[in-house]
Chains A and B, each alone.
Chain A
């Protein structure tokens, strides 16, 4: 019988587990350090930082920039939410491109657009990925100036910027 068994049963387990966790942390941090591309220990998970296109381009656009482009009609707005949400209300002049029929809709809509046209995609909520998916699809089709307005619908409404309803 080892001295360990004299302890309360849980104490041995907890002590062992604490050492196991420490060992895991040590191995994890050391092996990460020697990886070719170490993962930063604290990542930047803000919505804007997550929106980097495969070409490394920062594709999020600020509300102010988007507002200026909207006023000057310098950008095409694309709404990536489902059609029924678009019908209830959307950014004035935005085109509805629901994600599930995006490819077909994009082909129809962009047929006569130049490749360097500024396109701003949006959906709703910080964690909504539809606008990102749509932006990446557009970039793959050769559009070089695609931007994403993160949480666009909520931001636009809260700022009292022009909206409209219907199809």
Chain B
């Protein structure tokens, strides 16, 4: 009985890991290809000082790609999970602030196309879902660390990779 529960939790962690890594890798691609358009999206959020906009627009997509690849490959998972959680908190805060401001801007989440979906309750809800996955992985990682296990073990169904 205990075995099956543990196995189910591992399945959930593995699914969360696959979904999140896919989302992050997919989200990074269009932005890496079109930095100027993504900078425009970052500017439209009106949260960053002008000096930082281009740097963030250049580095953030690569950070997303690397975090996604690490999470997928099982290398440095605890660092990647922490990074993904911090990014999700930042993304959510940025969206909620601008939804509250009533700003009609494009999300810039998966596409740099300015006519793509704007911020809305559904976009925020989507990110809440992703954040719940990443928060679960963070919980699992810390648990594994507390048990002095390699966290990588927890993400696969059949023990360490």
Residues of A at under 8 Å CB distance from B?
1-2, 5, 9-10, 12-17, 19-21, 23-25, 27-29, 31-32, 35, 37, 39-46, 127
CA distance A38 to B141 in the complex (A): 38
Query: With A23-B66, A39-B36 given, is the CB distance from A29 to B58 under 8 Å?
Result: yes
B-to-A contact residues, CB < 8 Å: 32, 35-36, 39, 43, 46, 50-51, 53-55, 57-59, 61-63, 65-67, 70, 76, 78-83, 86, 141-142, 145-146, 148, 150
A96 to B80, CA, bound (A): 53
The listed residue (B32, B63, B141, B146) touching A13 by CB distance below 8 A is B141
- In the complex, which residues of chain A have a beta carbon less than 8 angstroms from the beta carbon of B66? 20, 23-24, 27
Taking CB atoms, residues of chain A closer than 8 Å to B81 are 13
In the complex, besides A16-B78, A20-B63, A44-B50, 8 extra interface pairs with C-beta distance below 8 angstroms are A13-B78, A17-B86, A20-B70, A24-B66, A25-B62, A27-B62, A37-B36, A45-B43
Per CB-CB distance, the 8 closest pairs between chain A and chain B, nearest first, are A16-B79, A9-B145, A24-B63, A45-B50, A43-B54, A13-B82, A24-B62, A13-B78
- Whether A16 lies near B57 (C-beta < 8 A) is no
Residue pairs across A and B with Cβ atoms less than 8 A apart, 27 shown, are A5-B150, A9-B141, A9-B142, A9-B146, A12-B78, A12-B145, A13-B78, A13-B79, A16-B80, A17-B82, A20-B63, A20-B76, A20-B80, A21-B59, A21-B63, A24-B59, A24-B62, A24-B66, A25-B62, A28-B59, A29-B58, A31-B62, A35-B35, A40-B54, A42-B54, A45-B53, A46-B50
Contacts of B70 in A (CB 8 A): 20
Contacts of B148 in A (CB 8 A): 1, 5
| Set of chain B residues within 8 Å of A41, measured between Cβ atoms | 54-55, 58
Q: Take A16-B76, A43-B53, A46-B50 as given contacts and tell me if A32 and B58 are in contact as well, using a CB distance cutoff of 8 Å.
A: yes
| Chain A residues with CB below 8 A from B67, complex form | 20
